Structure 1
Amino acid sequence: MKVVFAGTPEFAAVALRAIHAAGFEIPLVLTQPDRPAGRGLHLQPSAVKQYAVAHGIPVAQPLSLRLDAKDPQRAQEAQAAHELLCATDYDAMVVAAYGLILPRSTLDIKPCINIHGSLLPRWRGAAPIHRAIESGDHETGVTIMQMEEGLDTGPMLLIERTPIGPQDTTATLHDRLAAMGAGMVVKVLSKMEHDVIEAVPQPEAGVTYAAKIAKEEAALDFTLPARELGRKIRAFNPFPGAHATVNGTVIKLWGAESLDADSAAPSGQVIAADAQHGIVVACGGGALRLTELQKPGGKRLPAAEFIKGFALEGQRFT
């Protein structure tokens, strides 16, 4: 079976490695154009492109796949990509965190399947891992589905579950789901190869949408309950990084645990900052013990180390 792969970040690269290692022929990889990164803002290839190039797999990086794109350059690149796909000998396309919408013209060439990091129909959309943690879900998983024009609405081919632990962050859950999805897509491709797989329509009930994460969401509001703030800190680790301001200094908050004890102190007030109690902040309900922090230009530090170089006693997070 010959598989075209479309994906961009590390989540997708894990699946590409698994498909390649399983012996499926990959005649073409689609990935996003190189992006500026690092202090020098030099163009950097995606994780998927790096793997493809290292293993001699042809790569295409169109700006768009939409033949009706209004921008002439995007329309031209979409036409070239469409012609390339039509000329490529393949049986199915696997899509994982590609970042471009696949139009009907692409979906009609060959069957397309998607690796999605949620238990569909919950958390359709761009940020399912973040939103599952932020919302306090007790479990999540990976769904392999057939693609159609709707946003993550296609019938399901395989679904597997995993619990969300109290210490899970988007980073840890991302890695677990990436490994799960890689193994699952190999199973699905093997079943497709032997024509022994069934597509099951998604339930109509329980649909939710995982909107793309906006950077401004990461600014914490300490009038919210501590449990909610703790989930946000875990959901926004590693991106975009939850933060709050103390005396005009923006502090990144990478780890925390919620405490049930309420305080008469105003929301955001530091009610403890010492080796015995750690850094405890009053919230709209309960209190939050901050466990890992980072000041501008500094390293991520445990609370006990952070307070040695940044005085928080009597201060207030805003």
Structure 2
Amino acid sequence: MKSQTTPLRIVYAGTPEFAVPALQVLIDSAHTVVAVYTQPDRPAGRGRQLTASPVKQLALEAGLPIEQPEKLSTAEAQARLQALAPDVMVVAAYGLLLPASVLSIPQRGCLNLHASLLPRWRGAAPIQRAIEAGDSQTGVCLMEMTAGLDEGPVVSQITTPISDTDTGGSVHDRLAVLAAELLQRDLDAWAAGQLVAVPQSDQGVEYARKLTTAQAWIDWSKSAQALAWQVRAFNPWPVARCQWSQTTLRVWHAEVVSGSGPITSTPGQVVAVGRDGIDVATGDGLLRLTQIQLPGRRAQPVSQFLQGQAISVGEQLG
């Protein structure tokens, strides 16, 4: 990031691990982070103790002022932001809506680091929805924020392929690094007027709805390919799952069985069991479960699972 003649006064807003590398870039830059906004501490872990967000933890280490409003729509919250006199607000996975009245407070507006190739996958879970849909690539956009959800003009972007082995976790981690690189590369050029934001197309817009555990249940009537994408997308959360007898199996890894020919078994029926995996009939093709987890246990390869559990050909998974 090239230094500006006059360093920017930046308010940074982010919460999860995804937003940590970009904050570190700003801390290391010539700009001044006048405050870090992050969501209030939430209960976490078995003891359900209040825990600071990853962004807050970095801000504390760096000695930065921290703000944790429950929402930004109140007059008090907006007055505190106004008092910071920011030139720009940089947002990355903050988790709170920014009203139009907040977007207008920073002198030069608000920038967002969004984990998709806009206009595809606006919304809360763009990383997972891209994998779930079988997209061949994704990326990060630096965009100017407007009142509409992820509808603002795009300053720049970085793309990355989605491989056949990528999961929601691996793509998340890669995009977090790329988001920081994008901010480091282009913030100063944008501030100097050397990068002009381009309005998004109205074509190809998809909404990446929020993930829930209810969506994690496997529908065996879908194709093996669609289910393989779902398993990868929902790893490490909420983790695809199915019913086996009286218990729930979490499916961490699965793959399509190629060249299996026509499937005559009922979707969800186990058709083969071996060290390489458990083959299950779907609406189109076979899905091989290769890493699964019982409640209260660790995820393990099927070869280890079968040493302590018996699952038979012909059984029906729900």
How would you bin the TM-score normalised by the shorter chain? over 0.9
Worse-matched range after superposition: 82-91 or 146-155 = 82-91
- The structure 1 residue matched to 2:187, chosen from 173, 186, 189, is 189
CA deviations over 1:9-59 (Å, ceiling 9, x no partner): 000112111221233210100000000011110001101000001110000
Q: Residue 61 of structure 1 aligns with which residue? A: 68
Q: Residue 72 of structure 1 aligns with which residue? A: none
Q: Residue 84 of structure 2 aligns with which residue? A: 88
State the Cα distance separating 1:105 from its structure 2 match.
Answer: 1.1
State the Cα distance separating 1:316 from its structure 2 match.
Answer: 2.0
Superposed, 1:1-318 pairs within 5 Å as: 1-66=8-73, 78-110=74-106, 111-260=109-258, 261=260, 262-275=262-275, 277-314=276-313, 315-318=315-318
Identity rate, percent: 45
Determine helix, strand or coil for the equivalent of 1:33: coil
Q: Residue 75 of structure 1 aligns with which residue? A: none
What one-letter code is carried by the residue in structure 2 that aligns with 1:63?
E
Q: Is the 8 A contact 2:190 2:196 kept in 1?
A: no
CA distance in 1, matches of 2:53, 2:139: 24
CA distance in 1, matches of 2:144, 2:185: 14
CA distance in 2, matches of 1:98, 1:198: 24
Q: Unaligned regions of 5+ residues in structure 1, if any?
A: 67-77
CA deviations over 1:141-180 (Å, ceiling 9, x no partner): 1111000000100001011111110011100000111110
CA deviations over 1:209-267 (Å, ceiling 9, x no partner): 11111211100011111000000001111111100010011010000101241432211
CA distance in 1, matches of 2:71, 2:277: 50
CA distance in 1, matches of 2:271, 2:77: 59
Determine helix, strand or coil for the equivalent of 1:298: coil
Q: Is the 8 A contact 1:250 1:295 kept in 2?
A: yes
CA distance in 2, matches of 1:274, 1:202: 49
What one-letter code is carried by the residue in structure 2 that aligns with 1:221?
D
Q: Residue 71 of structure 1 aligns with which residue? A: none
CA deviations over 1:54-111 (Å, ceiling 9, x no partner): 1100001000111xxxxxxxxxxx3222111111132111001111100011101111
What one-letter code is carried by the residue in structure 1 that aligns with 2:267?
S
State the Cα distance separating 1:307 from its structure 2 match.
Answer: 1.3
CA distance in 1, matches of 2:195, 2:66: 29
What one-letter code is carried by the residue in structure 2 that aligns with 1:99?
G
What one-letter code is carried by the residue in structure 1 that aligns with 2:120?
R
CA distance in 1, matches of 2:88, 2:268: 53
Determine helix, strand or coil for the equivalent of 1:98: coil
What one-letter code is carried by the residue in structure 2 that aligns with 1:108?
S
Determine helix, strand or coil for the equivalent of 2:32: coil
Determine helix, strand or coil for the equivalent of 2:306: helix
CA distance in 2, matches of 1:95, 1:250: 38
Q: Residue 70 of structure 1 aligns with which residue? A: none
Determine helix, strand or coil for the equivalent of 1:27: strand
CA distance in 2, matches of 1:310, 1:32: 43
What one-letter code is carried by the residue in structure 1 that aligns with 2:234?
F
Q: Is the 8 A contact 1:35 1:45 kept in 2?
A: yes
Q: Is the 8 A contact 1:60 1:81 kept in 2?
A: no
TM-score (structure 1 length as normaliser) = 0.94
Determine helix, strand or coil for the equivalent of 2:243: strand
State the Cα distance separating 1:7 from its structure 2 match.
Answer: 0.6
TM-score (structure 2 length as normaliser) = 0.94
